[in-house]
Amino acid sequence: MRIVQISDLHFTHLTWNPLRLLSKRLLGHLNWFFSRKTNFSYEPLKELPSLFQELNVDLILWGGDFTTTALFKEYEEASRFIQQFPQKAIAIPGNHDHYTYRSFREKHFYQFFSNPQTSPFTLKEHSLEIHPIAPHWHLIALDTARPTPPTSSRGLFSETLEEKLKHALEQIPKENFVILFNHYPFFEQEHSSRNLDRKEALRKILEETPQIRLYLHGHTHRHAVADLRPNQLPILLDSGCPVQKQKATWNLIDLLPDTCEVSAYHWEDSWCPFRKEKFLWQRS
């Protein structure tokens, strides 16, 4: 199974409708003009459909933040881009996809993106999905994004979602491995306004569940591959951001029953691998 992990596309559409700017979107627009407009480039995205075909990718994991301020125009542009990829896909929302209380309440993200239903759980209704993706491998996708005040981008691993995750893990055979897929990291961030609330509860589950071998996230725009197994935690993969100038990145993951190989890609004049890590598993 060959998997792409990619996150934080941030398609952007500016609106001058004052009714739409009477919300957090006003700050989002200002942030685009004074920061992200000069730091983002969408040129690297054009190569991805053909490159993923050349690499024989089986599954794409889209890790959230398809949009910038959750406008329908942004969703439509993101949806057109995603439709260029014939591979199987699993998509989760990020904080920018639940940017306003209305977009969250009316579940705008799920009007554009849905995953194959492979269990009684769905992201739209339960904030959690279980996907068997390869022999001996399951993926659990989480929706922990929430609308927040203007200066915050915090997520929430709620007590309800905690219980659902524990129940979901009980449904997976103990001899199988699990990938946990979430927009947010489970560790403290540089700015507390970007943290996942109740991240300690999520970390405890990771520490107590050795069958969770990989934790995949985005949100930070900083690429990372970290083997945390000596600390009783899974291997952590942060895909970074594919539209960030000079730092555009995503991950290619090869899964075998007892091996995982991660190749990190970044953009120079074209996409090229810059780091490769190989991990071995021991079965109990």
The 10s digit of each residue's pLDDT in 223-271 is: 999 999 999 999 999 999 999 998 999 999 999 888 999 999 999 999 9
258: buried, middle or exposed (CB in 10 Å: 19+, 13-18, 0-12)? exposed
Q: Residue 258's pLDDT is what?
A: 86
The 10s digit of each residue's pLDDT in 100-156 is: 999 999 999 999 999 999 888 999 999 999 999 999 999 999 999 999 988 889 999
How far apart (Å, rounded) are the C-alpha atoms in residues 129 and 167?
12
The domain that holds 201 is classified in CATH as: 3.60.21.10
Q: What is the mean pLDDT of the chain?
A: 93
114: which residues sit within 8 A by CB, 6+ positions away?
124
Amino acid at 262: V
Mean pLDDT of 40-45: 94
Residue 39 corresponds to which tokens in the numbers above? 């730091």
Question: Could you tell me the pTM of the whole model?
Answer: 0.94
Amino acid at 69: T
What is the residue whose two structure tokens read 């197994």? Answer: 229
What is the residue whose two structure tokens read 């398809």? Answer: 66
Of the pLDDT bands very low, low, confident and very high (cuts 50, 70, 90), residue 13 is confident
* Per-residue burial over 234-247, b = 16 or more CB atoms within 10 Å of its CB, e = otherwise: bbbbbbbbbbbeee
Alpha helix ranges (H) inside the chain? 18-21, 25-31, 37-39, 48-54, 72-82, 101-105, 109-112, 123-126, 159-171, 199-208
How far apart (Å, rounded) are the C-alpha atoms in residues 270 and 127?
36
How far apart (Å, rounded) are the C-alpha atoms in residues 185 and 189?
8
Residue 20 pLDDT greater than 70, yes or no? no
End-to-end Cα distance, the chain: 22
Question: At 217, is the secondary structure helix, strand, or coil?
Answer: strand
Residue-range definition of the domain harbouring residue 84: 2-280
Judge whether 262 and 241 are in contact, CB under 8 Å. Answer: no
How far apart (Å, rounded) are the C-alpha atoms in residues 183 and 196?
10
User: Helices 159-171 & 199-208, crossing angle to 10 degrees?
Assistant: 20
Dihedral angle sign, alpha carbons of residues 171, 173, 176, 177: positive
The number of beta carbons lying within 10 Å of the beta carbon of residue 116 is 9
Residue 67 pLDDT greater than 70, yes or no? yes
Judge whether 226 and 277 are in contact, CB under 8 Å. Answer: no
The 10s digit of each residue's pLDDT in 157-191 is: 999 999 999 999 999 999 999 999 999 999 999 89
The DSSP result for 60-72, as a single string, is EEE-S--BSS--H
The number of beta carbons lying within 10 Å of the beta carbon of residue 15 is 15
Please report, rounded to a whole number, the percentage of residues in the chain having pLDDT higher than 90: 81
How far apart (Å, rounded) are the C-alpha atoms in residues 102 and 61?
26
Structural domains of the chain, count: 1
Residue 21 pLDDT greater than 90, yes or no? no
CA torsion, ordered 184, 86, 271, 81, to nearest 10 deg: -70
Q: What secondary structure letter does DSSP report for 195?
A: P
Q: Residue 26's pLDDT is what?
A: 65
Please report, rounded to a whole number, the percentage of residues in the chain having pLDDT higher than 70: 92
Of the pLDDT bands very low, low, confident and very high (cuts 50, 70, 90), residue 19 is low
What is the residue whose two structure tokens read 């306003």? Answer: 100
Residue 73 corresponds to which tokens in the numbers above? 């125009």
Of the pLDDT bands very low, low, confident and very high (cuts 50, 70, 90), residue 88 is very high
Q: Residue 184's pLDDT is what?
A: 98
